[in-house]
Amino acid sequence: MGHCSEQRTGFEVTKDWNGADQVAIRSPRGASVRVCLHGGQVVSWRNHRGEELLFSSSKAIFKPPKATRGGIPICFPQFANCGTLEQHGFARNKIWAIDDEAPPLNYGDNNNNKASVDLLLKPSEDDLKCWPHCFELRLRVSLSMDGDLSLISRVRNVNGKPFSFAFAYHTHLSVSDISEVRIEGLETLDYLDNLSQRERFTEQGDAITFESEVDRVYVGCPGVIAVLDHEKKRTFIVRKEGLPDIVVWNPWEKKSKTMTDFGDDEYKQMLCVDAAAVERAITLKPGEEWTGKLELSAVASTNCSDHLDHPGRL
């Protein structure tokens, strides 16, 4: 994982093979998370058996300023190419700082029995030239005793005028075979199809399954959805707050071959399911703060049926 480390309260700071700082968090039962300070990006989430739950491409470029293909990049203040900034905004390409003096969360995220780290991003002079708004973007990454992963982001307007932004946790889930995966919880919802100039459609299926490229923004989504991996008999439970949309993406075969940092056949082992605020921008007045939360759990599929009916922990 690295050749140099520094122990901090609740986490360990290491350096990867490129010399970039990473934060390692471990639960007493063996689950672990690694967060790269380049991009504030979760690059690994393992369960107590050591199984990697997030996808990272074997061809990923782990060197700034290129964002790493995989894990959970932070998309801010723009999603995709819907604006004048670089793809998915600049937050995923910046160096974040460990925030030892993070202010308390405004609502009850109970950090008891959780190991966590707080990160902070502020705009550089170059950032202000291309996006002239002063902000503080805070990220808390936490790992529960049971190995559940939670990310809480806070954006504060420290500007003298309002600004608007988009946000997404660009979550790359590791799956056994995309053709054996289904998403439940998005039935009957409207979505914007990025393969059809963002035309609006209504989901007709009982669940979302995959037979070709998919790039959609589901809008007005419930707080809990499930991603079922039949071959692994594992289900990801995705819980979210403050993020009304879910982005679903798999590049499939043809597009995979056009991406230099993605293997030709790797689309079979991944699926992006992003908690996001994309359709409608979030607007903050001076001094206001927005909070968006994502919680990921990986459970045996036989135990997942109650999660959609009784969202529980969030």
Annotated binding residues for substrate, written as ranges, equal 69, 87, 92
Query: CA–CA separation, 8 vs 23, rounded Å?
Result: 9
Token digits for 109?
Answer: 């995220």
Token digits for 183?
Answer: 């998403």
Query: CA–CA separation, 206 vs 186, rounded Å?
Result: 9
User: What is the DSSP annotation of 218-279?
Assistant: E-S--SEEEEEETTTTEEEEEEEES--EEEEEE-HHHHHTT-TTS-TTGGGGEEEEEEEEEE
Helices (H), 80-141: 125-130
170 in Cβ contact with 272 (< 8 Å): yes
3-state secondary structure of 280: strand
158 in Cβ contact with 135 (< 8 Å): yes
Query: CA–CA separation, 196 vs 233, rounded Å?
Result: 33
The annotation places the binding site at 69, 87, 92
| 145, amino acid identity | M
CA distances, 51 to each of 23, 45, 47 (Å): 19, 8, 6
Query: CA–CA separation, 21 vs 94, rounded Å?
Result: 12
